[in-house]
Amino acid sequence: MKRFLETGNFAITEGAILAGCRFFAGYPITPATELAEAMSLRLPQVGGIYLQAEDECAAMHMCVGAALGGMKAMTATSGPGFILYADPYGWALGCETPMVVLNSGRVGPVSGITGAPGQGEFYLMRYPTQGGNFETICLAPNTAQECMAMTVEAFYLSERFRMPVSVLADQLITDGFEDISVPENEDEMKEMGFRTWPREICRGPEFYPASDALDVPPVVLGHNTGALCSDWTPTEEGYDIEEVEAHHKHAYRLIYKVRNNRDLFSHHYEKKYMGDDPDLVVVSYGSPSRVVNTAVEKARSQGLKVGSLRLINIWPFPDEHFDRQCKYLCVELNWDGQLVREVQRAAPKGSGVHFMGTCGDLPTTPDLIETFEKLLKNEPIRRKGWVLEEW
């Protein structure tokens, strides 16, 4: 095991390499640029290829192309680049091509503030492309070390589910320097809790008909197996077809291969004091969750009955955590409230679901504790002059 004082971008690069990634195409964008730079340095050292693309749309298409040729591929960007993935993301979902996509959130809309963290793409990660009729898997780590593990995990899931899997981070996580431990062999990976699997032999040369079963090798071109993939609704052999029944089969597979196998990733969450009868559950993901965890610890020591639910697997949304009838507070890095909408939907009827948003900077511990106190006393919560009582 080697230790470094390094950024989340560094950790993600090492995670990708551990997972067997040997192809990265990207386009410079703050705050994911350093990831592309790290890939350009590290990949050639392990025989991998880094390519700079003319835009993000091309970058992800190049990755899908490389993946269709049998390589493990990854791309990374921030919100303004992520929207250019809409086109290839859909294609990769439809062709059932495994690859990994990282989005490091900054402040929007549009170019917004480049060097500050934001969480404006919560729903975009669920619907990264048009057309519907698919599920997506998204993991949201909150430290550099966890970024490494979740990158490995994302590759694992992408291969098992035959689909692009995304990692959602933010500027603080990808740019911030932290203590990072990189395992040097399989045993260390296992010890450190990384997912391990036969990482180099998962791509089959044979062309298999589409199926909702897991562990069916994806379409790989170049072995003359008659493999076909396209942007159209496919028959089971891959031919394009304009037929409702074939479409139902295809869409059903894209949706239910994920829904029926959620146990493969639904364990990715962190709970604090959730077994201690909380009257208020604070829900968060990504970098705000680090402050939330501190604030919840502190509030408990002051006798406030709060608990923390940190989501790592954010899509498909883990409804099962919201069976408790109590108050909920969603802490997010945006002012429009995104996660809160999902919690409102998932929480039992009559639970008070509240929202606390910041943008570009994290909430502070005193701010959070003050909000917890007010909510527990049924007082309205205010922030920056806005009444945000019942979101």
Which residues contact another protein by CB under 8 A? 23, 25, 43-49, 51, 53-55, 57-59, 61-71, 73, 87-88, 90-91, 95, 207, 221-232, 238-240
38 CB burial (10 A radius; 0-12, 13-18, 19+): buried
Judge contact between 316 and 259, C-beta under 8 A. yes
| Tokens 């603080």, located at residue | 172
Q: What's the rounded Cα separation, in Å, for the pair 108 and 140?
A: 18
- The alpha helices in 76-203, defined as continuous H runs, are 79-82, 86-95, 122-126, 144-161, 171-175, 186-191
The least distance separating another protein from the CB of residue 7, rounded to whole angstroms, comes to 22
| CA–CA distance, 264 with 309 (Å, rounded to integer) | 19
> Smallest distance, Å, CB 202 to another protein?
15
Q: How far is the CB of 234 from another protein (least distance, A)?
A: 10
Cβ proximity to another protein, 59 vs 330, nearer residue: 59
By beta-carbon proximity to another protein, the closer residue of 63 and 299 is 63
| Nearest distance from C-beta of residue 46 to another protein, angstroms | 7
Angle at 175 (CA atoms; ends 192, 51), nearest 5 degrees: 90
Place of tokens 């005193």: 366
Q: How far is the CB of 368 from another protein (least distance, A)?
A: 44
Q: Which of residues 90 and 360 has its CB atom nearest to another protein in the complex?
A: 90
Is 12 or 229 the residue whose CB approaches another protein more closely? 229
- For helices 288-301 and 365-376, the axis angle rounded to 10 degrees is 60
Check: CB of residue 219 under 8 Å from CB of residue 238. Answer: yes
Residue 85 or 372 with smaller CB distance to another protein: 85
Q: Longest C-alpha distance within the chain, in Å? A: 68
Residue number, 235 or 261, with CB nearest to another protein: 235
- Comparing CB distances to another protein, the nearer of 28 and 115 is 28
Nearer to another protein, 203 or 341 (CB): 203
Rounded Cα distance, 68 and 71, in Å: 7
What is the nearest approach in angstroms of another protein to the Cβ of residue 69?
2
Of 52, 47, 56, 51, nearest to 22 (Cα)?
A: 47
As measured in angstroms, the least distance from the Cβ of 217 to another protein is 14
Smallest separation, CB 165 to another protein (Å)? 18
CA distance between the termini of the chain: 46
- Least distance in Å: CB of 225 to another protein? 7
Rounded to 5 degrees, φ, ψ at 45 are -65, -25
Tell the residue number behind the tokens 């208020």, with chain if given.
280
Is 141 buried (19+), middle (13-18) or exposed (0-12) by CB count in 10 A?
Answer: buried
In the complex with another protein, which residue's Cβ is closer, 234 or 307? 234
Treating both helix axes as pointing N-terminal to C-terminal, what angle do 144-161 and 8-18 enclose, rounded to 10 degrees?
40
